Chains A and B, each alone.
Chain A
Amino acid sequence: MERAPVRAPLIKNLEFKVGLLLVLTLVLAAGFLLYTMYARGAFERTQRLILVTENAEGVQSGMAMTYAGFPIGRVKRLDLADDGEVRVEMAIPVKDARWLRQSSVFTLEKSLVGGARIRAFTNQPDDPILEDGAERPLLTGDAAAEIPEIMAQVQDILANVKAMTQADSSINQSLVHVKTVTERMAGEHGVLGGVLGSPENAGKVIQAVDRSNALLASLNDVSHKADGMLGKADQRVFGPDGVMDEVQKSVTQINAILADVRDSLKKADAILANGEAISADVKAATTDIAVLRAEVDDSLTKVNHLINEINRKWPFAREVEVKLP
């Protein structure tokens, strides 16, 4: 079996190549060591912050504290003090310490997935800067602690949702009705069909409307005709040679007649007065004449009444009553 002679200089630049690899390895190893030390903050000036909490579950050495999502310090070590409280010693790089003020609040949050997180909040940026070695409480908020309560509420909500989504639930039925109505609305008779429930009813309404339209049209005609007739009647009644003219003339004639009647009555009255004076002794005759006079008075009243009546209806007369002298 042949083997290459061990010391034969077969390889070019053997020492250089191997030296290069060794140097590279050393640089990488030393560089990596220095880099991890730098990354762990070994070359950074830090200030101390002690966070005191009852339960530091989930907190580990090296864990970061974040401010506004940016890591500004890490947990250096954890101590369980004699009073049973956990003292978490944080190392805050001096250049990041300006974010922490006297009034800053520190919280420890445990989420369902992933580790715990320490977060810092600064509400008053004008406060004096947190001093080195400050001691602050670490407030804990546990997402898992609220789960039972949330679950109870969620169950209620789910029950309601279940009741709402069942096949015979009100919402479902309403939706079915809405669907029916909208289907009808989309049908031949549109929204009317939806409102009235069936195509027949909608048809009737449309027919009724059509008829009303026709009726209105004929009414319009009628009113036109009535207008014409009224105009003619007006002419007939109040126009020249109309009914009213004739009536006025007749009334004037009646007045003349009545005046005549009054004159003749005056004469009769005068005769009667003479007759009374002549036959004052004749008592029997007197009674008859008194009866006659009452009768004449009666007819005079009637005529007067007639004249009043006519004057009321046809207010053209000058003299309102007939007076007995």
Chain B
Amino acid sequence: MPAMDSLIDLLTRRGAALLAWLRGWRRLGRFGATAIVEALTPATYNSATRSVVQKQIYFTAWQILPGFTLFAAVLSYVLIQIVVDTARDYGLAQHALEMSVRILVLEILPLLTALFVGLRSGAAINTEVALMIVHNEMKALEETGVDPMRFEFIPRVIGGVISVVALTAVASALALVLAYVAVYGFQFFSLPEFNRVVGNVFDPPAIALLWAKVFAFGLAVTVIPISEGLAAPADKLFFVPISVLRGMVRLFFVLMLVEVISLALKYI
């Protein structure tokens, strides 16, 4: 029965692909959990790991800080102006500040930072890890008694999280200042009103959710590329682009998932 055979073949292949996909997520989850545990273990931090963390922060955050800050400021200012003008047109000017602060600081800027870092450093980390596997460097490290997990990957995850948090903090602070200037102009008399609106937006649950979201973004932009790179088969150089591609798609998916979950928690 050739038809039956082809059907079985198809189902086998489908099933295998599904299993591989699920295995990828399981691997990702396990690596992420390990990274969190390791990052919270004080013994992880020694001069060697600290150096890797510093380098990671330097490459991921410090290098792009001026450009990213400028970009975030321009984007923030344009969005604030749009929101303020639209709100004024509809006679809702008193809600303009609250709306722009919510849109920018709570939603757009964290996501923007995560996408920026993910596309830049995430892709680089993914490629690097995949190449290490392909070149059998991992085995070499293990043979010399160096735990690659501890000395290569965990510091990168820590550095990535700190970078995302730092960039988000800078961009958000700038956005708050720009929002004040856009709504009230260059004067300080409206500070009480501004304080009231900001205090209204950032109640304790909102702050907790924002922190959790930014940490999740920071974890995602490093954990997913490393995990995906580790899945590359040894001695197969052609697999590196595939690994990066898969890593980026999965990263994008996870970032959106985190964003949707945070929105659902906040507004539903």
Chain A positions within 8 Å of B, measured between CB atoms, are: 1, 3, 6-7, 11, 14-15, 17-18, 21-22, 24-25, 28-29, 32-33, 35-36, 38-41, 62-64, 71, 74, 113-114
Contact = CB atoms under 8 A, between A and B. Distances in A.
A74 B193 CA distance: 13
Contacts of A32: 169, 172-173, 202
A11 B56 CA distance: 12
Interface of B: 48, 51-52, 54-55, 57-58, 61-62, 65, 90-92, 94-95, 128, 131, 135, 152, 162, 165-166, 169-170, 172-173, 192-193, 195-196, 198-200, 202-203, 207
Q: Identify which of A32, A63, A71 gathers the most chain B CB atoms within 10 Å of its CB.
A: A32
Contact of B196 (A14, A18, A39): A39
Given A38-B195, A62-B200, A6 B55 contact: yes
Q: Identify which of B131, B170, B195 gathers the most chain A CB atoms within 10 Å of its CB.
A: B195
B95 A114 contact: yes
Contacts of A28: 169-170, 172-173
Contacts of B54: 14-15, 18
A36 to B, nearest CB: 4
Contacts of A25: 162, 165-166, 169-170
A39 B197 CA distance: 8
A39 B54 CA distance: 34
Given A7-B51, A25-B165, A114-B92, 11 more contacts: A3-B131, A18-B62, A21-B57, A21-B166, A24-B170, A36-B202, A39-B195, A41-B199, A71-B193, A71-B196, A74-B196
A188 B27 CA distance: 102
B212 to A, nearest CB: 14
Contacts of B55: 6, 11, 14
A88 to B, nearest CB: 16
Contacts of A36: 198-199, 202, 207
A71 B172 CA distance: 26
